Chain A
Amino acid sequence: MSKMPNYVSTTNACKLCKPLGASLAFRGIEGAVPFLHGSQGCATYMRRYIISHFNEPIDIASSSLGEKHAVYGGSANLKMGLKNVTAKYKPQLIGVATTCLTETIGDDVKMILAEYKDEFHTGIDDPLIISVSTPSYSGTHMEGFNAALKGVVEQLANGGEQNETINILPGFISAADLRYLKELLQDFGIAATVLPDYSETLDGEALNEYPLIPKGGTPLSSIRNMGRAKLTIECGRTFSGETAGSQLLKLFTVPLTRVGLPIGIRETDRFMDVVSEAAGIEIPEKYRSARGRLVDAMVDGHKYIFGKRAVVYGEEDLVVGLTAFLAEIGIKPVLCASGGKSGNMKESIANVLEGLGCEMPEVHENVDFYDIEERASDLDLDLLVGHSKGYSFARRQNIPLIRVGFPIHDRIGGQRLLHIGYHGAQQLFDTITNTIIAKKQDDSDVGYSYM
């Protein structure tokens, strides 16, 4: 396998910064306001970035540090900011994430928050305040997302007598995925806490009144009970270090089962088996027939896509899941890339490809789009699979881009893309196959009107 050249500079990064992930996770908690401790710019930039995907308002508060705070510390502004957010939003929870600035000046956020609680908490309707350390110079938005979830369970969950619920930590999936997941759990008749859940908070209805905080999100009462669940299912194969799931195990001995993101047939099968076992019932007919239809469709379409060569990029776990699915339908993933660097992506990909007869693709962590493009230049590609930031690459190569994941900045409805489960696989399959058929049709001189 060829080695990536080791460039010093980064061009068109294939990752985002840590507090953005934390903000998204906090946004998936009922009554929560994400709050960045840092200067104003970071929060505004992240809001803009998130808005362009979800087309939804998202308020991310900031302690708006100025020059003197950078020198003398941001404590006073953090406190004032919390006070103002409390007064205006009346949140149930404020999720404080640090930024590069406050990590570097060395603000002791835990201590400041303790002081704040002493000084300002009245005992009535005080919001909970969760803090998480998210300097972007160590880690990507995925680490920020996971760190926020870990912080939430560490700081909120309680132990106690075991109950019949399960915890689901689904990873960074779309709003449609979350809705689908919740419906699926309902169909299994199993009480579950899905954390986070921004299916409504970041994909809400048209409204008459601007919501200070949109409705929806994982209820705080459920989060408190996560330590008493009988099982945690955590989706993701590339975690490194402690996670919300591992902490629930460590602190409250909640058994932990890890599966990959349920993308494609085999990863979904694994997920369904775990849920089915936890629920103590068979997989409902609805899902068995969806699987059957998916297989039927895969047969109908297999010829059009066999042997096509794809590059897959994005968050590591998403890449792992998509790579597995592509291999299942006969597309050759030739290059799998991520800006993340868990160190686990290659092994995870090898695991999900096992038994599929698919050659191991090149796998690269810690790369940007310049690297990806350079590596891919002699790979004879047919397809890109990833978020919308790969568009310029796809355009230069004159190959189609299958838009998945986050962000989708050049189409509407990114939040409504369904990736997971048999239904998600069905949608992906149709999109991918039709895209390849359309490309052939458009490029042909004849323009056949049958496939």
Chain B
Amino acid sequence: MEPLHVLKEREPQIHRKGEAPFSIECNKDSLAGAVSQRACVFCGSRVVLYPIADALHLVHGPIGCAVYTWDIRGALSSGPELHRLSFSTDLQEIDVIFGGEKKLYKALIELIDRHQPKAAFVYSTCIVGLIGDDMEAVCKQVEKEKSIPVLPVMSEGFKGNKRAGYEAACSAMTRLVGTGDISGISKHSINILGDFNLAGEIWLIREYFNRIGVEVVANITGDGRIEDIKRSHGAALNVVQCSGATMDLATMMKKRFGIPNIRVSYFGVEDMAEALYEVARFFKDDEMLEKARELVRMELSTLLPELQKYKTALAGKKAAIYVGGAFKAFSLVKAFRLIGMKVVMVGSQTGTREDYEELEEITDEGTIIIDDANPLELSAIIREKDVDIFVGGVKERPIAYKLGVAFCDHNHERKEMLAGFHGMLNFAREVYGSVMSPVWQFVPRRVSEEKE
């Protein structure tokens, strides 16, 4: 097998468990010329705020940035669907020369009049950062005239990677928090942070919490509503999923309102159960804990027998994981274990050193841990490790498919519900449905194996 072909500068961002003491570099700027799977600051902000369905999301910039993010996520709304439209100021040459403030102002007024949103987010893109538009001032003025929050999101693409975009999104939301009425909120109340209601997941999670007697004040941001976020400081606890995306908001709420937070994952059986237990433990309420145990018992009693079939079929198959945030990777490693599979590679776009350390701990010997990978590396690993299924986002899918490897979409664009107990079953089905397909027998890598 040919050795993994990497640029020298990339070597510190790849680690093989067991071969050397743990070391990995991360959170570096992408290397020029290496085809990175990463996106930009704007992308980070856009994915976090996108699911807020009753807000206007206006992208201030040339057309591309807006058009590539039109309806890209499977984030569902139970009501308004303003988030599924793509609004742009579509800056033209003349705006670039003379500034885009006037156009931004007019566009905002026009769109607010047309859609009557509860708030407006205005995203700045690279070019806006350069031409020096005072977005803050324009937003303020429109806010005054239209009496809704108009929030600038300082997401110029070049100012860093997705992570910086998460921060920008959180600091925009920060301005909303604390402005709503919090009377009547139960003492057993939480905000759900970092779930984006892909395929309706947050509805399932909310239902679990309701069943154990917890009130959910705000969804941040899946199926999100401006009014809820405004009063989210009335909750007793922030329950944060997905390490990077909304942690900054939780940190701010802790500082300003003294609201503690816990980190959870709703993905995989163990993590889902643990999330419920932790919340119950936080409220120091035995009845709630008992309810949580009962819920888990009930869900597992139907889930586990159903999983068995998949487990038998998938035992020993090998998986590679490459996702946006590392936190999701932890859950995936465990979920694969639950269905009897081996994780041979795990990587992320934006993991931190601590994330990778934790991954190193929970993975098997020989597992490759990688930061900010590119297609060449990914494909070399697929071949070296003889991977049976690849988990990633849309940009990784064609690489897997081209090489004849099964694939499971675990990104913002997926249309399958993968969270919660029910989601675990869907996940197993997804994996099974791809790994067990008869098509692999025809792909070159299997055909040549047979010949050998």
Contacts and interface: CB of A to CB of B under 8 A. Distances in A.
B252 interface: no
Contacts of B39: 40-41, 44-45
Interface stretch (A79-87, A152-160, A292-300, A328-336): A79-87
Contacts of B88: 9-11, 13
A141 to B, nearest CB: 9
A124 interface: no
Interface string B256-277: 0000000000000000000000
Contacts of B89: 8-10
Given A52-B394, A61-B35, A138-B93, A206 B87 contact: no
B42 A66 contact: no
A451 B375 CA distance: 50
Contact of A104 (B58, B66, B107, B127): B127
B62 A60 contact: no
B62 A67 contact: no
Nearest to B439: A206
B34 interface: yes
Contact of B87 (A11, A48, A99, A392): A11
B63 A45 contact: no
B92 A138 contact: yes
Contacts, number: 227
Nearest to B56: A9
Interface stretch (B14-22, B195-203, B296-304, B398-406): B398-406
B63 A16 contact: yes
Interface in A83-125: 83-85, 87-88, 99-101, 104-105
Contacts of A77: 32
A65 interface: yes
Nearest to B382: A210
A431 B419 CA distance: 39
Given A8-B106, A51-B398, A55-B401, A60 B35 contact: yes
B362 interface: no
Interface in B405-452: 442-445, 448
A133 interface: no
Nearest to B394: A48
A136 B64 contact: yes
B37 to A, nearest CB: 7
With most chain B CB atoms within 10 A of its CB, the pick from A43, A47, A60 is: A47
Given A9-B111, A61-B33, A210 B398 contact: no
15 contacts: A8-B106, A9-B107, A9-B108, A10-B88, A17-B62, A39-B40, A40-B161, A41-B39, A44-B36, A55-B401, A64-B30, A66-B158, A100-B64, A104-B96, A104-B131
A39 to B, nearest CB: 4
A200 to B, nearest CB: 13
B158 A101 contact: yes
A323 B199 CA distance: 38
Nearest to A40: B30
A59 interface: yes
A81 B84 CA distance: 35
B33 A208 contact: no
Nearest to A37: B32
Contacts of A38: 126
Contact of A81 (B32, B68, B376, B445): B32
A325 to B, nearest CB: 27
A12 interface: yes
A58 B89 CA distance: 29
A451 B359 CA distance: 61
A84 B6 CA distance: 11
A58 B129 CA distance: 29
A44 B161 CA distance: 12
B386 interface: no
A8 B60 CA distance: 12
Nearest to A69: B158
With most chain A CB atoms within 10 A of its CB, the pick from B32, B67, B106, B127 is: B32
Contacts of A104: 96, 127, 130-131
Contacts of A7: 110
The 3 closest A-B pairs by CB, nearest first: A41-B40, A17-B64, A84-B33
Nearest to A59: B35
Contacts of B90: 9-10, 13
A105 B96 CA distance: 11
Given A11-B87, A12-B85, 4 more contacts: A13-B88, A40-B30, A45-B69, A81-B33
B110 A41 contact: no
Contacts of A78: 32
Contact of B32 (A10, A12, A46, A64): A64
B38 interface: yes
Given A12-B86, A57-B398, A210-B376, A63 B32 contact: yes
A45 B29 contact: no
Contacts of A40: 30, 36, 38-40, 157, 161
Given A17-B63, A100-B62, A212-B376, A66 B29 contact: yes
A88 B375 CA distance: 12
B68 A46 contact: yes
A285 interface: no
Interface string B38-56: 1111110000000000000
Nearest to B448: A208
B28 to A, nearest CB: 11
A381 to B, nearest CB: 21
Given A13-B63, A41-B39, A78-B32, A210 B402 contact: yes
A136 B89 CA distance: 13
B404 A49 contact: no
B31 A64 contact: yes
With most chain A CB atoms within 10 A of its CB, the pick from B34, B41, B89, B397 is: B34
B36 A137 contact: no
A16 B7 contact: no
Contacts of A138: 92-93
Contacts of B69: 45
B143 interface: no
A278 to B, nearest CB: 37
A387 to B, nearest CB: 12
